[in-house]
Protein backbone atom coordinates (compact mmCIF):
# COMPACT_ATOMS: atom_id res chain seq x y z
CA UNK A 1 0.00 0.00 0.00
CA UNK A 2 2.70 2.27 1.06
CA UNK A 3 4.77 1.21 -1.87
CA UNK A 4 1.78 1.60 -4.10
CA UNK A 5 1.13 4.99 -2.65
CA UNK A 6 4.74 5.81 -3.04
CA UNK A 7 4.64 4.55 -6.56
CA UNK A 8 1.60 6.52 -7.26
CA UNK A 9 3.00 9.47 -5.49
CA UNK A 10 6.26 8.90 -7.23
CA UNK A 11 4.49 8.57 -10.53
CA UNK A 12 2.49 11.60 -9.75
CA UNK A 13 5.58 13.40 -8.67
CA UNK A 14 7.29 12.24 -11.83
CA UNK A 15 4.36 13.23 -13.92
CA UNK A 16 4.11 16.49 -12.14
CA UNK A 17 7.82 16.95 -12.51
CA UNK A 18 7.65 16.18 -16.20
CA UNK A 19 4.68 18.35 -16.60
CA UNK A 20 6.38 21.12 -14.76
CA UNK A 21 9.46 20.74 -16.93
CA UNK A 22 7.35 20.53 -20.04
CA UNK A 23 5.39 23.50 -18.86
CA UNK A 24 8.62 25.36 -18.23
CA UNK A 25 9.91 24.37 -21.63
CA UNK A 26 6.65 25.38 -23.23
CA UNK A 27 6.75 28.68 -21.38
CA UNK A 28 10.34 29.15 -22.42
CA UNK A 29 9.45 28.39 -26.03
CA UNK A 30 6.53 30.78 -25.84
CA UNK A 31 8.73 33.45 -24.36
CA UNK A 32 11.33 32.83 -27.04
CA UNK A 33 8.65 32.98 -29.71
CA UNK A 34 7.22 36.24 -28.38
CA UNK A 35 10.71 37.66 -27.98
CA UNK A 36 11.79 36.68 -31.47
CA UNK A 37 8.55 38.04 -32.94
CA UNK A 38 9.14 41.26 -31.05
CA UNK A 39 12.73 41.41 -32.30
CA UNK A 40 11.55 40.70 -35.83
CA UNK A 41 8.88 43.38 -35.53
CA UNK A 42 11.44 45.81 -34.12
CA UNK A 43 13.90 45.08 -36.90
CA UNK A 44 11.19 45.45 -39.54
CA UNK A 45 10.04 48.68 -37.92
CA UNK A 46 13.52 50.10 -37.65
CA UNK A 47 14.19 48.99 -41.19
CA UNK A 48 11.06 50.67 -42.45
CA UNK A 49 11.64 53.88 -40.51
CA UNK A 50 15.33 53.83 -41.34
CA UNK A 51 14.61 53.17 -44.98
CA UNK A 52 12.09 55.98 -45.04
CA UNK A 53 14.44 58.35 -43.29
CA UNK A 54 17.37 57.45 -45.50
CA UNK A 55 15.16 57.91 -48.56
CA UNK A 56 14.12 61.31 -47.22
CA UNK A 57 17.75 62.08 -46.43
CA UNK A 58 18.81 60.98 -49.87
CA UNK A 59 16.18 63.12 -51.53
CA UNK A 60 17.33 66.18 -49.56
CA UNK A 61 20.91 65.22 -50.28
CA UNK A 62 20.14 64.87 -53.93
CA UNK A 63 18.19 68.10 -54.23
CA UNK A 64 20.99 70.11 -52.69
CA UNK A 65 23.90 68.07 -54.00
CA UNK A 66 25.13 68.71 -50.54
CA UNK A 67 28.42 67.38 -49.39
CA UNK A 68 31.27 68.52 -47.31
CA UNK A 69 34.47 68.26 -49.21
CA UNK A 70 37.96 69.27 -48.47
CA UNK A 71 38.80 71.54 -51.31
CA UNK A 72 42.43 71.89 -50.43
CA UNK A 73 44.57 68.83 -50.14
CA UNK A 74 47.73 69.54 -48.27
CA UNK A 75 47.06 73.27 -48.09
CA UNK A 76 48.41 74.83 -44.93
CA UNK A 77 45.00 75.93 -43.80
CA UNK A 78 42.31 73.29 -44.13
CA UNK A 79 39.42 74.58 -46.15
CA UNK A 80 36.03 72.97 -46.20
CA UNK A 81 33.41 73.75 -48.78
CA UNK A 82 29.83 72.64 -48.74
CA UNK A 83 28.80 71.85 -52.27
CA UNK A 84 25.19 72.92 -52.84
CA UNK A 85 25.19 73.33 -56.58
CA UNK A 86 22.34 75.16 -58.23
CA UNK A 87 20.06 73.31 -60.59
CA UNK A 88 21.24 74.14 -64.11
CA UNK A 89 19.04 76.94 -65.47
CA UNK A 90 19.51 79.97 -67.68
CA UNK A 91 19.16 82.58 -64.91
CA UNK A 92 21.69 81.46 -62.32
CA UNK A 93 23.60 78.43 -63.61
CA UNK A 94 23.72 78.61 -67.39
CA UNK A 95 26.49 75.99 -67.62
CA UNK A 96 28.63 78.19 -69.81
CA UNK A 97 32.23 76.99 -69.63
CA UNK A 98 34.68 79.06 -67.62
CA UNK A 99 37.71 78.42 -69.77
CA UNK A 100 40.25 80.71 -68.15
CA UNK A 101 40.54 82.18 -64.69
CA UNK A 102 42.30 85.55 -64.65
CA UNK A 103 40.99 86.79 -61.36
CA UNK A 104 38.80 86.42 -58.32
CA UNK A 105 36.05 88.92 -57.62
CA UNK A 106 34.87 89.67 -54.08
CA UNK A 107 31.28 90.76 -53.41
CA UNK A 108 29.02 91.36 -50.43
CA UNK A 109 25.47 90.01 -50.49
CA UNK A 110 23.88 93.43 -49.74
CA UNK A 111 21.41 91.39 -47.74
CA UNK A 112 22.31 92.07 -44.07
CA UNK A 113 21.92 89.24 -41.60
CA UNK A 114 21.16 86.54 -44.17
CA UNK A 115 23.36 83.47 -44.28
CA UNK A 116 25.02 81.50 -47.05
CA UNK A 117 22.30 78.92 -47.57
CA UNK A 118 19.53 81.55 -47.79
CA UNK A 119 21.48 83.43 -50.45
CA UNK A 120 22.18 80.20 -52.29
CA UNK A 121 18.46 79.41 -52.20
CA UNK A 122 17.71 82.86 -53.58
CA UNK A 123 19.91 82.06 -56.61
CA UNK A 124 18.20 78.68 -56.90
CA UNK A 125 14.79 80.39 -56.86
CA UNK A 126 15.73 82.46 -59.90
CA UNK A 127 15.51 79.35 -62.08
CA UNK A 128 11.78 79.94 -62.41
CA UNK A 129 12.47 83.22 -64.19
CA UNK A 130 12.04 86.08 -61.71
CA UNK A 131 11.88 89.67 -62.80
CA UNK A 132 12.77 93.10 -61.43
CA UNK A 133 9.95 95.61 -61.10
CA UNK A 134 10.83 96.87 -64.57
CA UNK A 135 10.08 93.44 -65.97
CA UNK A 136 13.69 92.49 -66.77
CA UNK A 137 14.74 88.98 -65.83
CA UNK A 138 17.09 88.60 -62.88
CA UNK A 139 20.35 86.84 -63.74
CA UNK A 140 22.37 86.34 -60.60
CA UNK A 141 24.64 83.84 -58.86
CA UNK A 142 28.11 83.29 -57.50
CA UNK A 143 30.61 80.45 -57.51
CA UNK A 144 30.93 80.67 -53.73
CA UNK A 145 29.14 82.22 -50.79
CA UNK A 146 30.90 82.69 -47.46
CA UNK A 147 28.48 82.49 -44.53
CA UNK A 148 28.36 84.53 -41.33
CA UNK A 149 30.08 81.80 -39.33
CA UNK A 150 32.76 81.27 -41.94
CA UNK A 151 31.11 78.30 -43.64
CA UNK A 152 31.58 78.19 -47.39
CA UNK A 153 28.89 77.12 -49.83
CA UNK A 154 29.64 76.41 -53.46
CA UNK A 155 26.78 77.16 -55.88
CA UNK A 156 28.46 76.96 -59.27
CA UNK A 157 31.35 74.61 -60.21
CA UNK A 158 34.71 76.17 -61.00
CA UNK A 159 34.54 75.23 -64.66
CA UNK A 160 31.29 77.15 -65.16
CA UNK A 161 30.63 80.87 -65.13
CA UNK A 162 28.40 82.48 -62.52
CA UNK A 163 26.40 85.66 -63.00
CA UNK A 164 28.07 87.97 -60.50
CA UNK A 165 30.68 90.24 -61.99
CA UNK A 166 29.25 91.57 -65.25
CA UNK A 167 31.82 91.57 -68.07
CA UNK A 168 34.28 89.67 -65.86
CA UNK A 169 31.95 86.68 -65.41
CA UNK A 170 33.68 84.93 -68.25
CA UNK A 171 37.20 84.93 -66.77
CA UNK A 172 36.85 85.17 -62.99
CA UNK A 173 35.67 83.19 -60.00
CA UNK A 174 33.18 85.02 -57.81
CA UNK A 175 32.81 84.99 -54.05
CA UNK A 176 29.83 86.54 -52.27
CA UNK A 177 30.28 87.22 -48.58
CA UNK A 178 27.46 87.47 -46.04
CA UNK A 179 27.54 90.32 -43.55
CA UNK A 180 25.60 90.97 -40.33
CA UNK A 181 24.59 94.60 -40.88
CA UNK A 182 24.33 97.58 -43.22
CA UNK A 183 27.98 98.56 -42.86
CA UNK A 184 28.81 95.55 -45.05
CA UNK A 185 31.76 94.64 -42.84
CA UNK A 186 32.45 90.90 -42.77
CA UNK A 187 32.51 88.96 -39.49
CA UNK A 188 35.90 87.74 -38.25
CA UNK A 189 34.97 84.18 -39.17
CA UNK A 190 33.75 85.13 -42.67
CA UNK A 191 36.89 87.15 -43.19
CA UNK A 192 39.15 84.28 -42.18
CA UNK A 193 37.37 81.86 -44.51
CA UNK A 194 37.43 84.40 -47.31
CA UNK A 195 41.20 84.79 -46.91
CA UNK A 196 41.65 81.00 -47.05
CA UNK A 197 39.36 80.52 -50.04
CA UNK A 198 40.91 83.40 -51.98
CA UNK A 199 44.41 82.14 -51.13
CA UNK A 200 43.51 78.72 -52.42
CA UNK A 201 42.04 80.11 -55.66
CA UNK A 202 45.13 82.28 -56.21
CA UNK A 203 47.44 79.27 -55.68
CA UNK A 204 45.34 77.02 -57.85
CA UNK A 205 45.12 79.45 -60.78
CA UNK A 206 48.48 81.13 -60.25
CA UNK A 207 46.95 84.54 -59.64
CA UNK A 208 48.77 87.64 -58.41
CA UNK A 209 47.74 90.23 -55.87
CA UNK A 210 46.35 92.52 -58.57
CA UNK A 211 44.11 89.72 -59.79
CA UNK A 212 42.09 89.91 -56.57
CA UNK A 213 39.48 92.52 -57.33
CA UNK A 214 36.19 93.90 -56.06
CA UNK A 215 32.97 94.10 -57.98
CA UNK A 216 33.62 97.84 -57.63
CA UNK A 217 36.79 97.49 -59.71
CA UNK A 218 34.73 96.03 -62.55
CA UNK A 219 31.68 98.29 -62.66
CA UNK A 220 32.13 100.98 -59.98
CA UNK A 221 29.30 99.43 -57.97
CA UNK A 222 29.62 99.91 -54.18
CA UNK A 223 30.36 96.24 -53.71
CA UNK A 224 31.67 94.94 -51.35
CA UNK A 225 30.49 98.12 -49.63
CA UNK A 226 32.72 98.21 -46.53
CA UNK A 227 35.83 97.36 -48.55
CA UNK A 228 35.05 100.06 -51.09
CA UNK A 229 34.55 102.63 -48.35
CA UNK A 230 37.66 101.45 -46.51
CA UNK A 231 40.39 101.13 -49.09
CA UNK A 232 43.06 100.34 -46.44
CA UNK A 233 41.02 97.35 -45.23
CA UNK A 234 40.80 96.10 -48.79
CA UNK A 235 44.55 96.37 -49.26
CA UNK A 236 45.04 94.60 -45.95
CA UNK A 237 42.80 91.78 -47.15
CA UNK A 238 44.99 91.20 -50.18
CA UNK A 239 48.06 91.29 -47.92
CA UNK A 240 46.49 88.68 -45.66
CA UNK A 241 45.73 86.43 -48.63
CA UNK A 242 49.28 86.53 -49.88
CA UNK A 243 50.72 86.10 -46.42
CA UNK A 244 48.74 82.88 -46.17
CA UNK A 245 50.03 81.71 -49.53
CA UNK A 246 53.60 82.39 -48.43
CA UNK A 247 53.09 80.58 -45.14
CA UNK A 248 51.66 77.65 -47.04
CA UNK A 249 54.63 77.56 -49.38
CA UNK A 250 57.01 77.59 -46.39
CA UNK A 251 55.06 74.80 -44.79
CA UNK A 252 55.19 72.76 -47.97
CA UNK A 253 58.98 73.16 -48.10
CA UNK A 254 59.23 71.82 -44.55
CA UNK A 255 57.37 68.67 -45.48
ZN1 LIG B 1 28.83 92.52 -56.23
Tell me the residue range of the domain where 41 lies. 18-68
Q: Are residues 24 and 84 in the same domain?
A: no
Say if 138 falls within a structural domain.
yes
- Dist. CA 33 → ligand 1 center (Å): 68
* pLDDT greater at residue 57 or residue 239: 239
- Dist. CA 224 → ligand 1 center (Å): 6
Q: Are residues 49 and 77 in the same domain?
A: no
pLDDT confidence of residue 37: 72
Say if 42 falls within a structural domain.
yes
- Which CATH number characterizes residue 242's domain? 3.40.80.10
- Dist. CA 110 → ligand 1 center (Å): 8
Q: Three-class SS of residue 116?
A: helix
C-alpha distances in Å from residue 33, one per residue of 28, 45, 62, 74, 193: 8, 18, 42, 57, 59
- Look over the chain and give the mean of its residue pLDDT values, rounded to a whole number: 84
- Dist. CA 248 → ligand 1 center (Å): 29
What single-letter DSSP state applies at residue 81?
Answer: E
C-alpha distances in Å from residue 5, one per residue of 1, 10, 225, 254: 6, 8, 108, 98
User: How many separate domains does the chain show?
Assistant: 2
Q: Are residues 151 and 220 in the same domain?
A: yes
> Picking from 32-41, 69-78, 156-165, which range would have the lowest pLDDT averaged per residue?
69-78
Asked whether the predicted pLDDT for residue 161 surpasses 80, the reply is yes
CA dist 101 and 10 (Å) reads 99
Q: Are residues 131 and 48 in the same domain?
A: no
- Dist. CA 168 → ligand 1 center (Å): 11
* pLDDT greater at residue 56 or residue 119: 119
- Dist. CA 58 → ligand 1 center (Å): 34
Q: Are residues 116 and 176 in the same domain?
A: yes
What single-letter DSSP state applies at residue 59?
Answer: H
Q: Are residues 225 and 101 in the same domain?
A: yes
Is 132:139 a contact under the CB 8 Å cutoff?
Answer: no
What does the pLDDT average to over 71-98?
86
CA dist 233 and 227 (Å) reads 6
- Dist. CA 179 → ligand 1 center (Å): 13
Say if 219 falls within a structural domain.
yes
Q: What is the pLDDT of residues 223-233, one digit of tens each?
A: 999 999 999 99
Q: Are residues 26 and 136 in the same domain?
A: no
Q: What is the pLDDT of residues 170-214, one digit of tens each?
A: 999 999 999 999 999 999 999 999 999 999 999 999 999 999 999
What does the pLDDT average to over 147-164?
96
Q: Are residues 94 and 63 in the same domain?
A: no
C-alpha distances in Å from residue 44, one per residue of 38, 51, 59, 253: 10, 10, 22, 56
CA dist 159 and 97 (Å) reads 6
- Dist. CA 119 → ligand 1 center (Å): 13
Is 154:81 a contact under the CB 8 Å cutoff?
Answer: yes
Q: In what order do the strands lie in the sheet with 212-214?
A: 66-70, 80-84, 152-154, 144-146, 172-177, 103-108, 212-214
- Dist. CA 112 → ligand 1 center (Å): 14
Q: What are phi and psi of 202, to 5 degrees?
A: -60, -40
- Dist. CA 73 → ligand 1 center (Å): 29
Say if 143 falls within a structural domain.
yes
Q: Are residues 40 and 151 in the same domain?
A: no
First to last CA, the chain: 100
Q: Residue 105: enclosing H or E segment and its boundaries?
A: strand 103-108
Q: Are residues 52 and 156 in the same domain?
A: no
Say if 12 falls within a structural domain.
no
CA dist 108 and 145 (Å) reads 9
Asked whether the predicted pLDDT for residue 7 surpasses 50, the reply is no
Q: Are residues 121 and 36 in the same domain?
A: no
pLDDT confidence of residue 13: 40
What does the pLDDT average to over 100-111?
98
Amino acid sequence: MLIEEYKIDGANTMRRKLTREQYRRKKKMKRLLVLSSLILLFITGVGLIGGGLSKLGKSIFHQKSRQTMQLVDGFYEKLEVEEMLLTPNEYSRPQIALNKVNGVVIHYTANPGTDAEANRNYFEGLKEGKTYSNGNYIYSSSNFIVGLKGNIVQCVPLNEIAYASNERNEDTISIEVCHPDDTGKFTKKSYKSLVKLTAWICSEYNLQKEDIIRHYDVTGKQCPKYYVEHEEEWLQFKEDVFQMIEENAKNEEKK
